Every structure is written in structure tokens, then in C-alpha cells.
């Protein structure tokens, strides 16, 4: 039951964070709707099944609505077998900062997936922002760049050419915010790609 709910929540997170934002920004969506392009889709049996599930979902949320600060948030699809979990919400990556055991489990998960350099970079670059001494900023900036970004770096993070060039330009006269654009990018990777997978892993389940 718990595993099913975690998988369900992970899928909801994917829909919420990845699919729906792309849908909203897709060019011509309004025209497609106006032209009734969905009529053909509605004839598809799988689409009809999905619509039926959504109807049930909306009906259940009408009976058991959740509001936080006046903002509606959907529940999971419930059944009688786990009514006590009716209002289960998606785990939040900010839990990592409140639970050291969870952070260690997430780090171990990333090691298993050969992606631990993302978290290592984020932590080092985030701490870098608190530096105030210019000599230390210059020294640490070079260390972080050579460790994670430079050609042949021992823990290379995945950055495109443009981002790398902008970072190199910024580091010509480094400040404690030089890594901020990259730090934000890596945090999005951790939030949208790795954390949803982590919360359905045995390591996460062992922490709960």
C-alpha cells in the first residue's frame, strides 16, 4: 500500500512539475482546443478510461477537499483500504534540510545512481555564497570550478556549453554569487529528476 502511494505521488509530481508546465507553454494549444482537435482523442479507449478516472478524482476531491492558505491542492486517489492516508501529499525535497538521516539516504541514492556530483556541487557552491573574504572567494571559486566544471574534472556536472562559458566569464572576477545560476540549475535537476525517483526507492522507505 505504501509503495503504491509513493509511486502514485511520484507520477503526480511528474505531471505537475514536468508535463503540465510544458502543456501550458506549448504554442498553439488554444487554437487546438478551439478547433476541437481533442474530439478524435476522446474516441480513444485509453483516453476515455483516463477521463473516467479524472471524473472520479474530482468527485472525491469535492467530497474531501484540501485547502492550504486558500489554495486548492489535490488529494491522492483514495479507496477504503487506506482511507487514513486520504490526504497524503507529495514529499517535499525541503525535508532533506530538516532530517539529516534523509539527507544521507538521498546522498547514498545518488551514489548508487552515479549522480552524487550534483548534490556535492550544490552543497559546496551554496556554502561558497556565504564567503566574504575576496582572497578566499577567488581560491574556493577555482577549486570548485576545477572539481566540478573544468575539462577532466573528477566530479563533472552536466552543463551545456553556454552555461559553462558564462560561468568562466563570471569567474574572471569572482564574487560569492558567481556560481548562483549554476547552483539554481543543479537544484532544479535534483528537485525534478532525482528526488521523485528517490522517494519511491527502498532507501527512502527505510527512513519512514
H/E element, 71: strand 71-72
Over residues 92-134, the pLDDT tens digits come to 888 888 888 889 999 999 999 999 999 999 999 999 999 999 9
pTM beyond cutoff 0.75: no
- Confirm if 155 and 107 have CB atoms less than 8 A apart: no
Residue 104, C-beta contacts closer than 8 angstroms, at least 6 positions apart: none
Share of the chain above pLDDT 90, in %: 44
* Joined grid coordinates for residue 82: 487506506
What's the Cα-to-Cα distance from 124 to each of 5, 45, 129, 192, rounded to whole Å? 34, 50, 9, 20
Contact (Cβ atoms closer than 8 angstroms) between residue 78 and residue 60: yes
CA 109 to CA 93: how far, in whole Å? 14
Q: For the segment 36-90, what is each residue's pLDDT rounded down to a tens digit?
A: 555 565 566 665 666 666 666 556 555 555 555 544 444 444 444 333 433 445 6
Could you identify the residue written with the cell 537544484? 187
Amino acid at each position: 500500500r505504501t509503495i503504491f502511494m509513493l509511486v502514485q505521488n511520484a507520477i503526480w509530481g511528474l505531471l505537475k512539475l514536468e508535463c503540465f508546465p510544458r502543456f501550458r507553454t506549448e504554442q498553439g494549444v488554444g487554437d487546438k482546443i478551439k478547433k476541437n482537435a481533442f474530439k478524435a482523442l476522446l474516441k480513444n479507449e485509453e483516453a476515455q478510461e483516463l477521463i473516467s478516472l479524472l471524473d472520479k478524482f474530482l468527485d472525491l476531491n469535492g467530497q474531501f477537499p484540501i485547502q492550504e492558505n486558500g489554495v486548492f491542492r489535490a488529494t491522492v486517489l483514495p479507496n477504503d483500504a487506506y482511507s487514513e492516508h486520504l490526504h497524503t501529499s507529495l514529499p517535499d525535497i525541503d525535508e532533506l534540510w530538516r532530517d539529516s538521516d534523509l539527507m544521507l539516504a538521498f546522498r547514498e541514492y545518488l551514489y548508487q545512481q552515479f549522480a552524487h556530483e550534483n548534490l556535492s556541487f550544490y552543497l559546496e557552491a551554496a556554502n561558497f555564497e556565504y564567503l566574504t573574504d575576496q582572497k578566499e572567494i577567488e581560491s574556493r571559486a577555482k577549486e570548485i570550478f576545477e572539481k566540478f566544471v573544468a575539462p577532466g574534472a573528477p566530479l563533472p556536472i552536466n552543463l551545456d556549453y553556454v552555461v559553462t562559458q558564462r560561468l568562466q566569464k563570471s569567474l574572471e572576477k569572482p564574487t560569492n554569487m558567481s556560481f548562483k545560476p549554476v547552483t539554481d540549475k543543479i537544484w532544479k535537476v535534483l528537485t525534478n529528476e532525482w528526488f521523485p525517483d528517490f522517494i519511491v526507492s527502498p532507501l527512502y522507505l527505510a527512513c519512514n
